[in-house]
């Protein structure tokens, strides 16, 4: 309503002029209870997936230098940490391995060994009776001596040959007790092949969360440190199989293909730089949609907090709420446990 000005001077200098707009947006913001009452989006513990790192050694916790506060757990220590996450109400953890360099080769052979560190960790979590979902990546980069997500011929990443290995990797993970297979490799056709393989092996109950729109991003650096693929990949590029940051329509095509091939849930990765993709995916398909607040996002926020440049408690919660506002049903975040504690404390 346009301001028409007062018809006569007010007797009370503190009172609004006659004709002043009756709609005041700040009324609903005035008190804490009112702000909570009218909140359009909420972040809860059920929205959190905790990515965790596991190694095969005896050292309980090995810090990741580029991710302050994040560690690589031994199998025993991981079981303890996952139990704490479950007690906080976190629905699922995503397990990523640090593989002994001596076990790496160009074919990523250890990825399909039933006793590799991922399968050992999954079996240990399940044997402990912890009521939490366990998600495993289907990808070869932690296992290959070249750091790529697929088999190689010269400089070429082989698509169909890689998919065959990913099916075998998914099967041993499902047999170990993995609840959700999450192919992150970005090979064409891998969702359909993995779905077919799981169903044929009697694992029809195992869900698939596809890394459907995974971008070739500079935000993955600390993660590659954590799983030991940074040194093997070196200056190598994943541009031929991960998506260009310039593209949005391509993401919609990728998601459509993964859903048609049998994906139960889809993911956008990275997170904050791609909130527009999250929104488009959710609006277009109305399926369970997740985002990954990746290692580089974590490292930036944590570093700025440690230096006093940002209020860490505030910006962490704000960043996660941004994912919800964009349409994400949940977020993979290294902040999951501390955020769950904060939410539980009220």
On the question of pLDDT at 2 being above 60, the answer is no
Contact 180, 163 (CB under 8 A): no
pLDDT digits (tens, 9 = 90+) for 147-162: 999 999 999 999 999 9
Cα 323 to Cα 267: distance, rounded to the nearest angstrom? 12
Q: What is the pLDDT averaged over residues 312-334?
A: 97
CATH code of 221's domain: 3.20.20.70
pLDDT digits (tens, 9 = 90+) for 174-230: 999 999 999 999 999 999 999 999 999 999 999 999 999 999 999 998 988 888 887
pLDDT value of position 225: 86
Q: Could you tell me if residue 129 is inside a domain? A: yes
Mean pLDDT on 310-330: 97
pLDDT tier at 8, thresholds 50, 70, 90: low
Confidence band for 1, pLDDT divided at 50, 70 and 90: very low
- 221 located within any domain: yes
What pLDDT shows up at residue 233?
Answer: 82
Which residue in 104, 214, 238, 282 is the catalytic one?
214
How far apart are alpha carbons 187 and 167 in whole angstroms? 12
Instruction: Provide the CB-side half-sphere exposure for 336 (13 A, CA).
Output: 30
Strand spans (E) along the chain: 48-55, 61-63, 71-73, 92-98, 133-138, 151-153, 156-158, 180-183, 207-214, 265-269, 289-293, 330-333
From the candidates 238, 269, 282, 324, which is the catalytic residue? Answer: 269
Q: Is 344 a catalytic residue?
A: no
Q: Which two tokens stand for residue 201?
A: 């092996």
Distances (CA, A) of 9 to 2, 23, 69, 271: 19, 21, 61, 54
Domains contained in the chain, number: 1
Q: Is 280 domain-assigned? A: yes
- pLDDT for residue 4 is more than 70: no
- What is the pLDDT, as a whole number, of residue 228? 81
For the chain, the average pLDDT equals: 93
The answer to which of 24-28, 72-76, 325-329 has the lowest mean pLDDT is: 24-28
Query: What percent of the chain clears pLDDT 70, i.e. is strictly above it?
Result: 95
pLDDT tens digits along 30-53: 999 999 999 999 999 999 999 999
CA atoms of 141 and 322, how far apart (whole Å): 30
- Is 1 contained in some domain? no
HEC per residue, 181-221 = EEECCCCCCHHHHHHHHHHHCCCCCCEEEEEEEEECCHHHH
Q: Would you say the C-alpha torsion 313, 318, 323, 329 has a positive or negative sign?
A: positive
Q: Give the pLDDT of residue 218.
A: 93
Question: Does the annotation count 126 as an active-site position?
Answer: no
Structure tokens at 120: 């050992």
Distance, CA of 64 to CA of 81 (rounded, Å): 16
Report if residue 167 sits inside a domain.
yes
- Which residues on adjacent β-strands are paired with residue 151? 158
The count of other CB atoms within 10 Å of the CB of residue 138 is 28
- The pLDDT of residue 11 is 59
Residue 3 lies in a domain: no
Residue 62 has pLDDT above 90, yes or no: yes
Check the annotation: does 254 bind a ligand: yes
- Tell me which residue range forms the domain holding 299: 42-345
**7: in domain:** no
pLDDT band at 22 (very low <50, low <70, confident <90, very high): confident
Q: Is residue 163 part of a domain?
A: yes
**pLDDT for res 53:** 97
Residue pointed to by tokens 């990825």: 111
């Amino acid at each position: 309503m346009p301001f028409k000005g007062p018809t006569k001077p007010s007797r009370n200098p503190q009172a609004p002029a006659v004709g002043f707009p009756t709609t005041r947006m700040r009324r609903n913001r005035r008190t804490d209870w009112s702000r909570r009452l009218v909140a359009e989006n909420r972040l809860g513990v059920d929205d959190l997936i905790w990515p965790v790192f596991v190694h095969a050694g005896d050292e309980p916790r090995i810090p990741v230098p580029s991710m302050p506060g994040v560690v690589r757990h031994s199998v025993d220590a991981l079981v303890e940490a996952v139990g704490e996450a479950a007690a906080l109400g976190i629905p699922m953890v995503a397990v990523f391995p640090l593989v002994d360099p001596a076990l790496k080769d160009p074919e990523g052979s250890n990825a399909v060994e039933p006793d590799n560190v991922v399968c050992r960790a999954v079996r240990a979590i399940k044997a402990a009776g912890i009521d939490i979902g366990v998600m495993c990546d289907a990808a070869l980069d932690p296992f290959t001596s070249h750091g790529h997500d697929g088999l190689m011929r010269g400089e070429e990443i082989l698509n169909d040959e890689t998919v065959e290995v990913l099916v075998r990797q998914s099967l041993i993970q499902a047999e170990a007790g993995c609840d959700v297979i999450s192919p992150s490799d970005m090979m064409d056709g891998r969702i359909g092949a993995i779905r077919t393989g799981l169903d044929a092996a009697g694992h029809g109950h195992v869900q698939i969360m596809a890394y459907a729109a995974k971008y070739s991003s500079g935000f993955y650096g600390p993660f590659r440190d954590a799983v030991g693929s940074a040194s093997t990949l070196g200056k190598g590029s994943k541009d031929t199989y991960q998506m260009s940051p310039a593209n949005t329509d391509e993401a919609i095509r990728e998601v459509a293909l993964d859903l048609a091939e049998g994906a139960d849930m889809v993911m956008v990765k990275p997170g904050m730089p791609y909130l527009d993709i999250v929104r488009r995916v959710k609006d277009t398909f109305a399926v369970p949609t997740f985002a990954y607040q990746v290692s580089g996002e974590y490292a930036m926020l944590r570093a700025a907090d440690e230096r006093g440049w940002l209020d860490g408690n505030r910006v962490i919660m704000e960043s996660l709420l941004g994912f919800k506002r964009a349409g994400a049903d949940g977020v993979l975040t290294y902040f999951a446990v501390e955020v769950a504690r904060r939410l539980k404390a009220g």
